[in-house]
Structure 1
Amino acid sequence: MSYFAAAVTRGRSGWTASELDLSDVADVDQVADLMRDVDPDALVSLLFIEADDAYLTVLRLDDGEDLRVFGSDAAYADDSRLGKLLIGDVTEPATEAAIDGDLDDLEPVVAADDDEDPPVVDPTATPIGDADLLADLGVSAHKLLALCATDGLLPADVTAEVCQAIGCGDEVEELREA
């Protein structure tokens, strides 16, 4: 299973981003250690893991402590070693009040090729973990869950939208293009 892992840290001078290699990690604690190593003095450390254009996992550390995890679909734990490692121990479903509301205000970033049909989101996807982990940065649980459920959005699109909203979109885009 292929993946892209972008570590985004906010220190006193702003946001920075770097790609992480998770191939040798044995557990989620080692992933948290890698996040801390990116910037030991970071006020906020985020890790966006996009796997096989199907799954998004977001991890967060505040001042290097209290790891919080969100996964776009619990099935990721069954589909890969990395998924099991990242979200295998997360048992609580990511809940938010019904997402039946109008999603027009989300203005998602969609990088779709006109010659291809956009992928269809799995209606059986079960988001798990802390969907509210980005709320204080400007992305509510409702918005995060709505983005993950939006038909045609890939995990990379969700990451781009979230990063744009929290102010680190340019840093992640530069990392992706490198």
Structure 2
Amino acid sequence: MYFTALLARTDDGWEASDTELDDVESLDELAELARESAPDDETVLVCIEQEGAWFGLVRVDGEDDPRVYVSDAARAMRSAYGEILLTDELTGRAPGDDDLLDGLAGLPEDDGEDDDGLAADEPEDAVPGTGGQEAVPRGPLGDAGLLADLGIDAATVRRLTPDDALGSIAEALGCADVLEAVR
């Protein structure tokens, strides 16, 4: 089960809104959706969580490039929403390199279960079911420091678990009540 929300910083504090990402196909489209929700080019955090499996954060500040953090890239890659976040630039793939995506074709979407789905001969950092390809690492990927100026350092972001990440972030930002209102 997924939860997605936008947290927009305003003069009056943080505002939260749930959002559907079904029509979003790229990080650029996601960033544009975030910009549309922010008054005066303020900071917007796009929060995506797949229950018990992974979470992702996208920070959009005005027209700046979005900054992305994903708690578990391998699990996120098996998710429709994760594929939006895991751009070629973030994963280090060459643009148009479809080898990894071809290897993922037909894999079931990650259901959040603890079973890592790895075959006995696949390395720990492989994407499950891809024959050991290591293009997307298991574990965190992206800019863990994207919340540092908001009082949440990179080490804290990396320690967050999918079960409590968004609530912990919202609490640290002082907007836990507004996030819970849209949950």
- Note the C-alpha offset of 1:77: 4.1
Kept in 1, the 8 Å contact 2:54–2:76? The answer is: no
Distance 1:157 1:18 in 2: 19
Whether 1:126 aligns to 2:133 is: no
Superposed displacement of residue 86, structure 1: 1.4
What secondary structure is seen at the aligned counterpart in 2 of 1:41? helix
Task: After superposition, give the CA deviation of every residue in 1:110-159 in whole Å (9 maximum; x if it has no partner).
Answer: xxxxxxxxx869796410000000011111000111123xxxxxx25111
Contact 2:8 2:43 in 1 (8 A): yes
Identical counterparts, % of pairs: 40
- Please state how far the C-alpha of 1:170 moved relative to its aligned partner: 1.1
CA distance in 1, matches of 2:23, 2:114: 32
Matches within 5 A, 1:17-166: 17-89=16-88, 90-91=90-91, 125-148=138-161, 155-166=162-173
Gap runs ≥5 in structure 1: 93-118, 149-154
Determine if contact 2:7/2:44 at 8 Å carries over to the other structure: yes
TM-score of the two chains, using structure 1 as the length reference: 0.72
Shift of 1:78: 2.8
Do 2:9 and 2:42's aligned partners in 1 also have CA atoms closer than 8 Å? yes
- Flag the structure with larger Rg: 2
TM-score by length of 2: 0.70
SS in 2 for 1:76: helix
List 4+ stretches of structure 1 deviating above 3 A.
Answer: 119-125
Measured on the aligned residues, the alpha-carbon RMSD in Å equals 2.2
CA offsets per residue over residues 16-73 of structure 1, 9 Å max, x none?
A: 0001100111111111111111124242100110014211000001134221000001
Aligned positions of 1:4-23 closer than 5 A:
4-23=3-22
Q: Distance in 1 between matches of 2:114 and 2:172?
A: 24
Q: Structure 1 residue 91: deviation in Å?
A: 2.3
